[in-house]
Structure 1
Amino acid sequence: MSGISTGSPRSAVRRIIAPLALAQFICSFAGSNMNVMINDMSRDLNTSVAGIQLSITLFLLTMAALMIPMGKLTDNIGRKRSFVIGLIVYGVGALITAFAPALWAVILGNSLLEGIGTAMLIPPVYILTTIHLPDIPSRALAFGIISGMGGVGAAAGPLIGGLITTGISWRAAFLFQALVIAVILLLSRTLTDPVPADPERPFDTVGAILSALGLFVLVMGILAADTSVPLMIVLVVGGVAILVGFFLWVRRRERVGKAPLLSTALFRVRVSNLALVTQNLQWVILMGTSFTVSAYLQVVRGYNAIETGVIFTAATVGLLLTSLLAGRLARRFTQRSMIVTGFVLCVPGVVLLIWLGSGTTGGWPFVPGLFLIGAGLGLMLTPSVNVVQSAFPQSVQGEISGLSRSVSNLGSTFGTAIAGTILVANIDAGGAAYGVAMAVVAVLGATGLIAALLLPRGPAPRGAVAPA
């Protein structure tokens, strides 16, 4: 099947990019804008910092846990239909959260409905891009714009959220999300799905339940670290056991010739596996830093939402600068080089945040570290996605897109859960707790650098594996 790409790559991309890129922007924005509302929301809803952290983490976890099943389900219900339904569910969740009387309503609207909506609409963003733009230049340009908008949404979330929260109310930030969703729905009217839906295609319900349950229990175990270590151990071990059961179930279905939720063949491409690791750890750095620094500034330093958001402008500027240069740099340097350079910038950035941020007063010491982290992420977000997506043929783009987005969102979840829990559990320790939390982020960033260095120096194979 041929895509719609005719003429120059830019003209092909312009036909589909607006609703898809804006959708990625608002979903990434939703993952980080609440970080600057911690004090305002906890006070208004009569809850604690831990309660807001729980809501943020559950939103990210819902996305991650459902991304693979929803990516697979797009084949049954159609890519555009999944995209539109996801937008509607997300919009309803945003409205519920805007008028939430208590934390339970925020968890219902933001954590669950917005999380489910995001899991439904994000896989189609990448699948539709891939099948509409079969030529590599057009696809690379589109992935660059979409991934860049995702990074900008996550990096700019604190600033935009801070401006709205201080100028109006934290509730207005969710009304803003609902408004953007309405705009995307209007823009998507001309979006088409070149591949017909296949309602008869088998769907692995048991696999979907096992994968989602395993991830949920595992992350809840991490969050339990600040209340009960024995409970944390039980939940983490239980989560790992369920995920092992999921992979055994997948292997069993493959042996008897049934379609599993996630083909094990997706993990047989070494370059894709390494790129997935880098994707995960990029978002660990971004969201772990965003939550930890935001919570520290507000709860320990007493900064308000707009003051916190303005400090995070450094990360947004860094990300925008390198994102704008990424297209030109991609013509001169390999994707591996850009991913490696990204981590080389990010890890020292985290170190600067620890060194300058924990022992000084004022907001300026956070600027150099945040700028380096933003610059590093701007360089490597797109190459990592490109390496993963381009390693597989069109026939499995639904699966690999769901896996790729799930891995990225798991990174966001782990970053907020691990670093956030370390900080929140020891919030009375102030700068010391902040330093430990950020040190963990630095170690995980260094792990990402090692994975990037192991990527092959030459171009990645395209369409290397077609799972049965």
Structure 2
Amino acid sequence: MRRSPWATLTVLALAQFIVVLDVTIVNVALPDIQRDLGFTTDGLQWVISAYTLLFGGFLLLGGRAADLLGSRRVFVIGLVLFGATSLAGGLAPSPGWLIAARAVQGLGGALLSPAALSLLTVTFEHGRRRNIAMGVWGGLAGLGGTLGVVAGGVLVDSASWRWVFIVNVPIVIALVAVTPVFVRHIAPHPGNRGFDLLGAVLGTGGLLALVYGVVRAEPAGWSSPEVVGCLAAGAALLAGFVAVESRAAAPLVPLRLLRSRALSTAGGALALNGAAFLSMFFLTAIFLQQVRGGSALRAGLEFLPMGAAAILAAVATTPLVTRFGTRPVQVAGSVIDVAALLLLSRAGAHGSYATTLMPGLMLFGVGIIAVSVPAQIAAVAEVAPREAGAASGVVTAFYQVGGALGLAVVTTLSTSRAGDALAAGSSQLDALVAGYHRGLLIAAAFTVVNLAVTAVAPRLAPSADQIAEAAAAA
């Protein structure tokens, strides 16, 4: 049966669209979720972190599963899992239920996303057609992040926060129905049949333990047995993960790749970039509603200039990398991020949005892209073409995991600052503003560290062909 490759692209890009959409669509619903389900301030961040940790922690396993079991089969499994847990999240009666649903939803995304990319690269031969397809793929993914906040605001204001999850269900049902028609079956890879499930469980379990320990540090104290035990368990599990990966025949993370200075510094830069981005997004979505009194839809619309600036920056960054190399563009992006976060940290409960928030949001959109694009290019510039997919998967996982860990640190310290302000006699509004400001300053500290990481990165000047290959691998 002959299938149109552009119909295949439509199915795969729509699936990736909803995966990216779910990273941002939930943010503007957080105040309503907290109020309806009775989340604590510390617990609320798990609605985001559970998804990103499981997505990042199992992303490489998802890619391996697609090779071993067949890309289309894993794609459909991931879609079904994503859709079922979206419904479960929309029907959640308690915080624990919603967090569990979000965690398994992240696992579904980790299965379908690399499988979709694998199907795309097989469907389109290397060259112009593949580059066009990758442009559509990347453009829809970026659009998903930008439209997510607006779509979330519309759904929350017109219906309920539950619809930010339930809206995925009819889309998933339609995609599952048309996948056998428009997406061809790809035979499983005949090579090594190893399946590093132990590595994925150890790595993700260690990260979950670390995040939980950081989150519990504020209410329980850093020296409490609970926190010390969680942090120690996390360190032990991650040490076990490294030991398993160093001996596995088909490791999730080929440790030899991390010997490349370009890849290891790119991974560090993306992890810090993820920490700054998720922290800023989480804090600002709550600030716009709980402090400035806006609706969910208004908060979504107020994020739009940041998304528009990011799209324009994505167009401009690639030629800048070609002309100046990766490191100067990354340095400029980090400096812009620091400036943006410092601007945002001066915003108060009152004052004009156009002068106190919009400039910082737009600068931040530019800076985040100016860091991430050259880092993605640098990550695959020095590895063999056959390992470009694995290298890109490693740094993507770094981004997701760095975001979750950074969000845990920022949320914990932001909440602590707000609590101290309340105890000192501040009003609740002033305490929330103080917590928001501290959180943004910590996010700014992440970007300062990113400057140091970028300073030791090699200065690469990739050709246009190398950049196109990097975009395809990403």
Deviations 1:182-240 (A, max 9, x none): 45446644234656334970123332322121111111112212222233343223212
Structure 1 residue 389: deviation in Å?
A: 4.1
The correspondence for 1:271, drawn from 246, 253, 262, is 262
Q: Paired residue for 1:456, among 432, 436, 459?
A: 459
Quick check: 1:311–1:367 contact (8 Å CA) kept in 2? Answer: yes
Distance in 1 separating the partners of 2:8 and 2:380: 18
Structure 2 equivalent of residue 7 of structure 1: none
In the other structure, the counterpart of 1:342 is: 333
What is the distance in 1 between the residues matched to 2:7 and 2:320? 25
Pairing of 1:161-180 with structure 2 (within 5 A) = 161-180=152-171
Q: In 2, Cα distance between the equivalents of 1:446 and 1:292?
A: 19
Matched, 1:381 2:372: yes
CA gap of 1:148–1:443, structure 2 versus 1, over 3 A, is farther
CA RMSD of aligned residues (A): 3.2
Q: Distance in 2 between matches of 1:62 and 1:182?
A: 23
Report if the CA contact (8 A) 1:322-1:378 is conserved. Answer: yes
Stretch moving more, 29-38 or 49-58: 49-58
Counterpart pick for 1:246 among 241, 249, 253 = 241
Looking at structure 1, the residues matched to 11 and 112 of structure 2 have their Cα atoms a distance apart, in angstroms, of: 11
Distance change in 2, residues 1:353/1:236 (3 Å): same
Residue of structure 2 aligned with 1:224, choices 200, 209, 216: 216
The residue type paired with residue 206 of structure 2 is: G
State the TM-score, normalizing by the size of structure 2.
0.84
1:211 is the counterpart of 2:203: yes
Unpaired runs of 5+ in structure 1? 1-10
Q: Which residue of 1 aligns with 2:353?
A: 363
Which whole-Å CA distance do the structure 1 matches of 2:312 and 2:437 have between them?
A: 28
For residue 170 of structure 1, give the secondary structure of its aligned residue in structure 2.
Answer: coil
- Cα 1:328/1:259, change in 2 over 3 Å: closer
Question: Is this contact kept in 2: 1:140–1:386, CA < 8 A?
Answer: no
Stretch moving more, 306-315 or 39-48: 39-48
Percent identity of equivalent pairs: 27
Aligned runs of 1:290-369 on 2, under 5 Å?
A: 290-326=281-317, 332=323, 334-355=325-346, 357-358=347-348, 360-364=350-354, 365-369=356-360
Unaligned runs of 5+ in 2: 420-430
1:380-419 correspondence runs (5 A): 380-389=371-380, 391-393=382-384, 395-396=386-387, 399-419=390-410
Deviation track 1:379-424 (CA, whole Å, cap 9, x = no partner) reads 4434433433454445445643442331121132123222222223
Q: Distance in 1 between matches of 2:395 and 2:120?
A: 14
Question: How far apart are the structure 2 equivalents of 1:273 and 1:134?
Answer: 30
1:101 CA displacement: 2.4
CA–CA separation in structure 1 for the residues paired with 2:104 and 2:49: 14
Distance 1:449 1:84, change over 3 A: farther
Contact 1:32–1:287 (CA<8 Å) still a contact in 2? no
Deviation of 1:29 (Å)? 2.0
Shift of 1:438: 0.7
Residue identity in the other structure for 1:438: L
Tell me the CA shift for residue 83 of structure 1.
Answer: 1.7
Distance of 1:359 and 1:73 partners within structure 2: 48
Q: Name the stretch that deviates more: 16-25 or 61-70.
A: 16-25
Map Cα deviations across residues 110-162 of structure 1 (whole Å, 9 max, x no partner). Answer: x2221110111122244444555564666665555544544443343222211
Q: Aligned runs of 1:276-295 on 2, under 5 Å?
A: 276-295=267-286
Contact 2:75 2:111 in 1 (8 A): yes
Alpha-carbon shift at residue 307 of structure 1 (Å): 2.4
Name the stretch that deviates more: 129-138 or 223-232.
129-138
Query: In the alignment, is residue 26 of structure 1 matched against residue 35 of structure 2?
Result: no
* Pair 16,182 (structure 1): closer, same or farther in 2 beyond 3 Å: same
Structure 1 residues 171 and 21, CA, compared in 2 at 3 Å: closer, same or farther?
same
- Which letter maps to 1:448? N
Q: Distance in 1 between matches of 2:21 and 2:39?
A: 23
Where does residue 426 of structure 2 map in the other structure? none
Could you tell me the TM-score, scaled by structure 1's length? 0.85
- 2:231 is matched with 236
Partner of 2:425: none
Q: Which residue of 2 aligns with 1:119?
A: 110
Residue correspondence of structure 1 range 146-165 to structure 2 within 5 A:
146-165=137-156
User: Would the aligned equivalents of 1:321 and 1:378 in 2 still touch at CA under 8 Å?
Assistant: no
